[in-house]
Chains A and B, each alone.
Chain A
């Protein structure tokens, strides 16, 4: 499925970040190519979320470079908004705008950022709501939807900006068990369509099915990068072995 020379979309080079004295990320080096799906896992507090939040600069890194499609991002850059429009992000707690209908949640970005007309934006929004199988809820408010439905709306909201890469920050962690499958199905469909994805998750089934590579992190460092089958059946590092045994041990 890969082209001869796939384009690098997201590149980390020697990236470090501290919160005060606490080293949150240390010497992160990672390149994600166009069309690639990367699953990031590791114990809580290992820096997974911090790492993907640096990509669209919701968190600022202090050392090293991060490139999005060849353009360097930094905390001081002027038009960070332009970069953010190319990077979709889905949060653990959905973060839909509660004072707007589902449809308005989706059309806000295209109308404000691209100057789309209401009708255009509406058409686009309905297209993506159909794709996440939730079009009939368009006129409701977020609180009227289940968690799983809200997360699918959040995915559609990101897709409306037609991003080059999608980031998922533990998208199923806040969901009731019976809601998880619906969200994962949407993500699998998205992956099959060739979207570039970086997913922080502990859903092993999803990782095995979709991921090209699994990145294992601990204490702010990337410990191991491997294909999912290899990683789950024979992790190389002690820390990954410990983590997996804890994850699967009960």
Chain B
């Protein structure tokens, strides 16, 4: 055997006739289902009415203007942004507490996680909204916030928080989401911290680092790197879960879709369009995270 010529690599897997047949039968099944629905429903499809709530052509100015569904999408993105920031803070703090020696902190964080994870999100949001936010926000003075004030009346504020008049409402939604998702992030962070070997703690303590520095310089960087994939998944879940705050009248995408469906009576078109919007949004983030992960893996070598 010549040492310098390795045997040829096995051929790459390709679609066989059987695979094509399988795909064809799945496609046929979907087509048949579509046909049946059409037969039974006797439904007048009208996409343009619904599209108008996405982007509308204004005949007076001759320009295209954004409409309800895009406003809703913007609010969903704002919810996702602030929800993620807060949930991460909650998750890192409580996730660390789950691993400490101090019994009080462990009991507190464990109770929080168990309480939230064992209540349906809908029920939690109603309880939170009607009992807690109605108490906390007046106490924080958020209800008295002057919507006409200079503080809130600029484009940056509107970009980050939306309509100032709806601020306390928006914050209630963000807090709900963050508290809810924070419980799941807590468990991810806990698992990450516990996945860092005991030897790392010992080595860091042996060179005399303080508790804070052990955590900040040695443990958390490794824990968060290990948990990046599940954290990304949880972020996408948060975007999808943001639809439930529509029930406390936060005007995000699902809330707007309910309005549009009622106004146009075009229920199917509305929900299919909104479903597609969620899909594009979430799948884009999934691709982005996948790319970031591959890049991080490459740069680490």
Question: Which of A's residues lie within 8 Å of B, judged by CB?
Answer: 56, 58, 81-85, 87-89, 91, 93, 95-99, 108-109, 112-113, 141, 154, 157-158, 160-161
CB pair A112 B300 closer than 8 Å:
no
CB pair B218 A82 closer than 8 Å:
no
Which residue of chain A lies nearest to B221 when distances are taken between CB atoms in the complex? Answer: A99
Given A58-B202, A93-B199, A108-B217, CB of A99 within 8 Å of CB of B222: yes
CB pair A97 B203 closer than 8 Å:
yes
The interface residues of chain B lying within 8 Å CB-to-CB of A58 are 202, 205-206
CB pair B204 A97 closer than 8 Å:
yes
Additional 16 contacts, C-beta under 8 A, given A89-B202, A95-B202, A97-B203? A58-B202, A58-B206, A84-B207, A87-B206, A88-B206, A91-B206, A93-B199, A97-B204, A97-B217, A97-B222, A108-B207, A108-B218, A109-B208, A109-B209, A112-B210, A113-B208
Total contacting residues, chain B, CB less than 8 A: 19
Give the shortest distance, in Å, between A194 (CB) and chain B (any CB): 22
Asked if B200 is an interface residue, CB under 8 A from chain A, the answer is yes
The interface residues of chain B lying within 8 Å CB-to-CB of A141 are 300
The interface residues of chain B lying within 8 Å CB-to-CB of A89 are 202-203, 206
Given A81-B210, A113-B209, A161-B207, CB of A98 within 8 Å of CB of B222: yes
Expressed in whole angstroms, the Cα–Cα distance for A164 and B217 within the complex equals 25
Asked if B117 is an interface residue, CB under 8 A from chain A, the answer is no
Given A95-B199, A95-B200, CB of A157 within 8 Å of CB of B218: no
Expressed in whole angstroms, the Cα–Cα distance for A89 and B203 within the complex equals 8
Asked if B134 is an interface residue, CB under 8 A from chain A, the answer is no
Which residue of chain B lies nearest to A97 when distances are taken between CB atoms in the complex? Answer: B218
Which residue of chain B lies nearest to A81 when distances are taken between CB atoms in the complex? Answer: B208
Expressed in whole angstroms, the Cα–Cα distance for A109 and B208 within the complex equals 7
Expressed in whole angstroms, the Cα–Cα distance for A113 and B203 within the complex equals 14
Question: Contacting B200 at CB < 8 Å: which of A56, A97, A109, A154?
Answer: A97
Give the shortest distance, in Å, between A166 (CB) and chain B (any CB): 11
Given A97-B218, A99-B221, A141-B300, CB of A108 within 8 Å of CB of B209: yes
Which residue of chain B lies nearest to A53 when distances are taken between CB atoms in the complex? Answer: B202
Give the shortest distance, in Å, between B146 (CB) and chain A (any CB): 46
Asked if B258 is an interface residue, CB under 8 A from chain A, the answer is no
Name 6 interchain pairs, CB-CB below 8 A, sorted by A.
A91-B203, A95-B199, A96-B203, A97-B218, A112-B213, A161-B207
Which of B207, B210, B222 lies at the interface centre, i.e. has the most chain A CB atoms within 10 A of its CB?
A: B207
Closest 8 CB pairs of A and B: A85-B208, A95-B203, A95-B199, A109-B207, A84-B208, A89-B206, A81-B208, A112-B213
Expressed in whole angstroms, the Cα–Cα distance for A96 and B199 within the complex equals 9
CB pair B199 A91 closer than 8 Å:
yes
Expressed in whole angstroms, the Cα–Cα distance for A91 and B202 within the complex equals 9
The interface residues of chain A lying within 8 Å CB-to-CB of B199 are 91, 93, 95
Which residue of chain A lies nearest to B300 when distances are taken between CB atoms in the complex? Answer: A141
Which of A56, A82, A96, A99 lies at the interface centre, i.e. has the most chain B CB atoms within 10 A of its CB?
A: A99
Expressed in whole angstroms, the Cα–Cα distance for A49 and B74 within the complex equals 59
Expressed in whole angstroms, the Cα–Cα distance for A32 and B216 within the complex equals 35
The interface residues of chain A lying within 8 Å CB-to-CB of B208 are 81-85, 109, 113, 161
The interface residues of chain B lying within 8 Å CB-to-CB of A154 are 203
Expressed in whole angstroms, the Cα–Cα distance for A84 and B221 within the complex equals 23
Give the shortest distance, in Å, between B50 (CB) and chain A (any CB): 50
Expressed in whole angstroms, the Cα–Cα distance for A161 and B205 within the complex equals 12
Mask, B190-220, CB within 8 Å of A = 1, is 0000000101101111111110010001100
Give the shortest distance, in Å, between A120 (CB) and chain B (any CB): 16
Expressed in whole angstroms, the Cα–Cα distance for A158 and B200 within the complex equals 14
Which residue of chain B lies nearest to A161 when distances are taken between CB atoms in the complex? Answer: B207
The interface residues of chain A lying within 8 Å CB-to-CB of B205 are 58, 81, 84
Give the shortest distance, in Å, between A113 (CB) and chain B (any CB): 5
The interface residues of chain A lying within 8 Å CB-to-CB of B300 are 141
The interface residues of chain A lying within 8 Å CB-to-CB of B222 are 97-99
Expressed in whole angstroms, the Cα–Cα distance for A152 and B289 within the complex equals 37
CB pair B207 A99 closer than 8 Å:
no
The interface residues of chain B lying within 8 Å CB-to-CB of A81 are 205, 208-210
Expressed in whole angstroms, the Cα–Cα distance for A83 and B204 within the complex equals 14
Expressed in whole angstroms, the Cα–Cα distance for A96 and B197 within the complex equals 11
CB pair B202 A158 closer than 8 Å:
no
The interface residues of chain B lying within 8 Å CB-to-CB of A82 are 208
CB pair A84 B225 closer than 8 Å:
no
Give the shortest distance, in Å, between A104 (CB) and chain B (any CB): 9
CB pair A99 B209 closer than 8 Å:
no
Which residue of chain B lies nearest to A144 when distances are taken between CB atoms in the complex? Answer: B301
Question: Contacting A113 at CB < 8 Å: which of B202, B207, B218, B225?
Answer: B207
The interface residues of chain A lying within 8 Å CB-to-CB of B203 are 89, 91, 95-97, 154
Which residue of chain B lies nearest to A86 when distances are taken between CB atoms in the complex? Answer: B208
